[in-house]
Amino acid sequence: MTTAKQVLDIIKEKEVKFVDFRFTDTRGKEQHVGVPVSAFDADKFTEGHAFDGSSIAGWKGIQASDMLLMPDPETAFIDPFFDETTLVISCDVVEPSDGKGYDRDPRSIAKRAEAFLKSSGLGDT
């Protein structure tokens, strides 16, 4: 299990220049938001990274488009295809108003489905 601290250690050790937050839209297309490493710290794992949800087709209107990307430290890796050392990390998309997973985020949908299967006993074998 990779922790937030381990990700921060990798950033220092590998001299990472950029962090690429990745998430999937409802249609299955991978989206991303890249930031310089100077804009990434331990708080991103608890407070998230704000982004504009209206830029994703079918998600939010411009009037209520603030959303958060919550990085999952277990998904972090160095992308070998970038010119500059870049750490890629998959994220959950979260509603900042209530801290819950966004209804149209595939990761959130999968987590809710898994929780339902566990609570209902349907997923027991």
For the chain, the distance separating the N- and C-terminal CA atoms, rounded to the nearest angstrom, is 25
Could you report the per-residue pLDDT of 82-118, keeping only the tens digit for each?
999 999 999 999 999 999 999 999 999 999 999 999 9
pLDDT average, residue stretch 11-36: 96
pLDDT of 58 higher than 90: no
Please name each of the domains of the chain with its CATH number: 4-120 (3.10.20.70)
- What would you report as the CA-atom Rg of the chain, rounded to the nearest whole angstrom? 16
pLDDT of 121 higher than 90: no
Evaluate whether 51 touches 69 at the Cβ level (below 8 Å). Answer: yes
Query: What gap in Å lies between CA 5 and CA 81, rounded to an integer?
Result: 24
Q: Tell me what pLDDT residue 77 has.
A: 98
Evaluate whether 67 touches 51 at the Cβ level (below 8 Å). Answer: yes
Evaluate whether 22 touches 31 at the Cβ level (below 8 Å). Answer: yes
Q: Tell me what pLDDT residue 125 has.
A: 60
Strand ranges in 1-122 using DSSP code E only, listed in sequence order: 18-24, 30-36, 49-52, 66-71, 77-79, 86-94
